[in-house]
C-alpha cells in the first residue's frame, strides 16, 4: 500500500509541477483536530481568495475522477470536508469560474484521542465529580449534612393530605419529554416518593404520560411506592395513562382528567413547555392545590404565577435526596453547593481579570 | 442480579456517553453511536407499549360501560381510523391520513394553543396584584417591560425600549443564568447518581 502510494505521490508531483508553477494561489489541507478522523480542512490563499466562487474537488489519486464536494464563497477562508474514511489519503483541487486552479498535497485524516477543545469541560467535570465522590465518602463515614427546608417539597405532603381529606385523587404529570431528559428521570424519582405518600394515605394517584417509553418506568415507580408504603393492593395500573405524544392533545387529555375526575392535588414535575400555563390555570380553576417543578427557565414564571408552590431549577433535582433523606444522596447536594461556591469565586475572578484587560482567564472557560 | 445487571448496564452506557464527549476516536465514538442507535430502536418499540396501554384502559372502561365511556369510544375509534388510514393508504401529503391530520387534528391543536392567551391574562391578573413588596416590584417591572415592547413607549420616552432591553438583558438575564447554573449542576449530579448506581429508584427496587 505504501509503495503504491509512493508511486502515485511521485506521479502526482510530476503531473502537478507545471500546475504549481502557474499556481494562482496555494491550497493547503490540514487534519481537523479533535475529531474522529473523518474530516479535513481545506484552505486557500493568493488570487483564489479574490474569486467570486470556488469549487472544491476531491480525489483519492490525482489521475482518478475528481469529485466536486462543495461550492463556497472564498471569503470563508476555508471549507471543512466531512464524511471521509479513516486511513485514506485525499488530494484536493480548488477551481474558480475564471479558470484559477490549484492542487494540494495528499493528506490523510487522523482520529484524535482527545478533543482538546473540550479539555476545559473535562477538567470542570472532573472537579465536580471529585466533589461528589468526596461528599459521598463523607456521608458514608457518618457525617450529617444540613439541607435547608424546601417549601415546595414540604408542600407535596400537604397537598396529598388535602386530597385524602377530600377523597379525591392526586394528579402527577411527569412533563412532556422522554426518558432521555434528565428532568423526566428526576421526576420519576420524585414520583416514587409521591406514590409512597399516596399509598400511606390510601389515595389514588393518576399519572398521565406523554411518551410511551415513560409508561413502564412510571408504572414501576408507582408500584414500588405503594409497595414501600405497605399498600401494594392500592396500586392500579389503569391510573398510569399514556395519552398522546402530541403536546396539545396531551394537554387536552390532562385538562379533561382534571375537570372530570376533580383531582384535588396536581403535581407537575419535569420538563414543560407551552402547555405549562394551560395545565396550571385549568388546575387552578378546579380549586386543586398545585405544586410544580421544572428546570425549563422560560416556564418557571407561569408556574410561579399559577401554582401554590414551585420548585425552581435545581430544587427539582434535589427532591430525591430531600424526600428520601438518604445520606449519600444528600452528599451530592452538598457537592453541588460547593461547586456553586467555586463558580461564584470564578465569576468574581473573571469579572476582575476582564476589567483589568486580562482576557485569557475568561476565554479558557468559553466553549470552543 | 435483578439490580446489579441493570446498574452495570447503566454504568457502562453512561460512561460510554460521557467518554465519547471527550474522546472522538472511533474506538469510543463508534460503540457510542451504536448505543445511541439502540436507544432510538427501543424508543420505537415503546410505541407498542403506548398503544397497548391506551387500548387496555379504554377497552376496560368500554366493556364495563364505566364513567365517561363515550370519550373512550371516540378515542379508540379515532386511533383505529388513523391507524387504518396511515397503514392502508399511506401518510404522504394529500393522503387521507394527511387530510385528517391537517383538517381535524391541527385545528384542534391550534384551539388548545390559542387558549393560552386567555390563561396568560388570568394568571397575570393574579400574579400582578400588589400584595407585597415582591409582587409590587413584579407588577412595576412587568408594566415597564410590556410598555417598552410597544411602539407608543418611544413617544413617552425616547429611551424606553432601551431601558426595557436593559431590564431583560441585565437583571433578568442574571437571575436566569443563576437558575440555569444551579439546574445544570443538579442535572449533572442526578446523572452521576444514576451512572454510579447511587440512585436506583428507576429500577423499581431501590
pLDDT at A18: 42
**Confidence bin at A19 (pLDDT 50/70/90):** very low
Stretch A141-161: mean pLDDT, rounded? 89
Assess A248–B contact: CB distance below 8 Å, yes or no.
Answer: yes
| Architecture of the CATH domain A144-325 | 3-Layer(aba) Sandwich (3.40)
Distance CA(A110)–CA(A121), nearest Å, equals 23
Per CB-CB distance under 8 Å, the chain A contacts of B176 are 297
The number of residues making up chain A comes to: 368
Using alpha carbons, select from A304, A266, A272, A267 the residue that is nearest to residue A286.
A266
**Confidence bin at A326 (pLDDT 50/70/90):** confident
Write out the residue limits of the CATH 2.60.40.10 domain(s) in chain A.
2-103
Stretch A56-71: mean pLDDT, rounded? 87
pLDDT at A53: 87
Residue A10 has pLDDT above 60, yes or no: no
> Could you state, in order of their start, the residue ranges of all structural domains in chain B?
1-89
Terminal C-alpha separation, chain B: 13
Per-residue pLDDT tens digits of chain B, which is 206 residues long: 777 888 899 999 999 999 999 999 999 999 999 999 999 999 889 899 899 999 999 999 999 998 889 999 999 999 999 999 999 999 999 999 999 999 999 999 999 999 999 999 999 888 888 778 888 888 899 999 999 999 999 999 989 999 999 999 999 999 999 999 999 999 998 888 888 888 877 665 55
Residue that wins the pLDDT comparison between A47 and A244: A244
Residue that wins the pLDDT comparison between A320 and A302: A302
Q: Position of cell 389503569?
A: A238
Write out the residue limits of the CATH 3.40.50 domain(s) in chain A.
144-325
pLDDT at A324: 77
Residue A14 has pLDDT above 50, yes or no: no
Stretch A116-140: mean pLDDT, rounded? 91
**Confidence bin at A6 (pLDDT 50/70/90):** low
Stretch A286-295: mean pLDDT, rounded? 95
**Confidence bin at A22 (pLDDT 50/70/90):** very low
List the CATH code of the domain at A2-103.
2.60.40.10
E strand intervals along B48-201: none
pLDDT at A21: 40
Residue A15 has pLDDT above 50, yes or no: no
Selected for mutation to probe chain B from A178, A186, A327 (highest B CB count within 10 Å) is: A186
Sheet holding A78-81, edge to edge: A27-31, A40-44, A78-81
Residue A16 has pLDDT above 60, yes or no: no
**Interface contacts A/B by beta carbons within 8 Å:** 190
Residue A3 has pLDDT above 60, yes or no: no
Note which residues in 74-113 of chain B have CB less than 8 A from chain A. 105, 108-109, 112-113
Residue B129 Rama label (left phi>0; alpha psi -120 to 50; beta): beta
Largest distance between two CA atoms of chain B: 72
Terminal C-alpha separation, chain A: 37
Percentage of chain A with pLDDT > 70? 93
Amino acid at each position: 500500500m505504501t509503495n503504491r502510494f509512493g508511486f502515485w505521490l511521485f506521479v502526482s508531483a510530476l503531473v502537478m509541477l507545471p500546475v504549481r508553477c502557474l499556481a494562482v494561489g496555494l491550497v493547503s489541507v490540514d487534519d481537523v483536530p479533535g475529531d474522529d478522523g473523518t474530516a479535513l480542512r481545506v484552505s486557500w490563499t493568493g488570487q483564489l481568495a479574490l474569486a467570486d466562487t470556488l469549487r472544491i474537488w476531491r480525489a483519492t489519486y490525482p489521475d482518478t475522477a475528481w469529485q466536486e464536494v462543495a461550492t463556497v464563497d472564498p471569503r470563508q477562508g476555508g471549507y471543512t470536508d466531512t464524511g471521509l474514511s479513516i486511513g485514506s489519503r485525499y488530494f484536493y483541487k480548488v477551481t474558480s469560474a475564471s479558470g484559477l486552479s490549484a492542487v494540494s498535497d495528499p493528506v490523510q485524516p487522523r482520529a484524535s484521542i482527545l478533543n482538546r477543545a473540550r479539555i476545559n469541560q473535562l477538567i470542570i467535570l472532573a472537579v465536580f465529580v471529585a466533589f461528589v465522590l468526596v461528599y459521598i465518602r463523607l456521608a458514608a463515614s457518618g457525617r450529617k449534612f444540613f439541607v435547608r427546608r424546601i417549601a415546595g417539597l414540604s408542600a407535596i405532603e400537604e397537598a396529598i393530605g388535602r386530597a385524602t381529606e377530600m377523597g379525591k385523587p392526586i394528579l402527577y404529570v411527569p412533563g412532556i419529554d422522554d426518558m432521555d431528559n434528565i428532568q423526566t428521570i428526576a421526576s420519576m424519582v420524585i414520583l416514587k416518593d409521591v406514590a409512597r405518600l399516596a399509598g400511606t394515605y390510601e389515595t389514588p394517584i393518576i399519572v398521565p404520560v406523554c411518551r410511551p417509553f415513560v409508561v413502564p418506568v412510571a408504572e414501576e415507580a408507582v408500584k414500588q411506592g405503594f409497595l414501600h408504603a405497605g399498600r401494594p393492593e392500592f396500586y392500579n395500573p389503569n391510573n398510569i395513562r399514556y395519552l398522546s405524544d402530541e403536546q396539545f392533545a396531551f394537554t387536552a387529555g390532562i385538562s379533561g382528567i382534571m375537570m372530570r375526575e376533580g383531582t384535588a392535588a396536581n403535581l407537575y414535575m419535569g420538563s414543560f413547555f407551552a402547555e405549562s400555563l394551560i395545565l396550571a390555570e385549568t388546575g387552578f380553576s378546579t380549586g386543586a392545590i398545585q405544586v410544580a417543578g421544572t428546570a425549563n427557565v422560560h416556564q418557571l414564571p407561569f408556574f410561579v404565577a399559577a401554582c401554590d408552590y414551585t420548585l425552581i431549577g435545581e430544587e427539582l433535582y434535589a427532591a430525591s435526596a430531600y424526600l428520601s433523606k438518604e445520606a449519600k444522596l444528600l452528599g451530592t447536594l452538598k457537592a453541588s453547593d460547593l461547586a456553586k461556591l467555586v463558580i461564584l469565586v470564578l465569576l468574581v475572578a473573571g469579572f476582575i481579570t476582564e476589567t483589568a484587560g486580562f482576557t485569557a482567564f475568561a476565554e479558557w472557560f468559553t466553549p470552543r | 442480579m435483578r439490580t446489579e445487571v441493570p446498574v452495570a448496564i447503566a454504568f457502562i452506557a453512561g460512561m460510554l456517553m460521557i467518554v465519547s464527549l471527550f474522546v472522538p476516536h472511533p474506538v469510543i465514538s463508534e460503540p457510542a453511536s451504536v448505543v445511541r442507535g439502540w436507544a432510538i430502536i427501543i424508543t420505537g418499540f415503546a410505541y407498542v407499549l403506548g398503544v397497548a396501554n391506551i387500548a387496555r384502559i379504554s377497552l376496560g372502561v368500554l366493556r364495563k360501560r364505566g364513567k365517561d365511556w363515550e370519550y373512550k369510544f371516540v378515542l379508540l375509534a379515532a386511533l383505529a381510523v388513523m391507524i387504518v388510514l396511515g397503514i392502508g393508504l399511506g401518510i404522504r401529503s394529500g393522503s387521507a391520513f394527511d387530510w385528517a391530520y391537517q383538517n381535524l387534528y391541527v385545528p384542534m391543536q391550534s384551539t388548545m394553543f390559542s387558549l393560552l392567551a386567555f390563561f396568560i391574562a388570568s394568571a397575570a391578573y393574579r400574579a400582578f396584584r400588589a400584595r407585597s413588596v415582591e409582587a409590587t416590584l413584579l407588577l412595576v417591572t412587568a408594566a415597564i417591560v410590556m410598555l417598552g415592547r410597544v411602539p407608543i413607549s418611544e413617544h413617552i420616552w425616547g429611551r424606553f425600549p432601551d431601558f426595557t432591553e436593559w431590564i431583560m438583558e441585565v437583571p433578568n438575564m442574571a437571575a436566569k443564568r443563576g437558575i440555569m447554573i444551579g439546574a445544570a449542576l443538579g442535572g449533572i449530579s442526578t446523572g452521576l447518581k444514576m451512572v454510579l448506581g447511587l440512585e436506583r429508584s428507576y429500577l423499581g427496587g431501590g
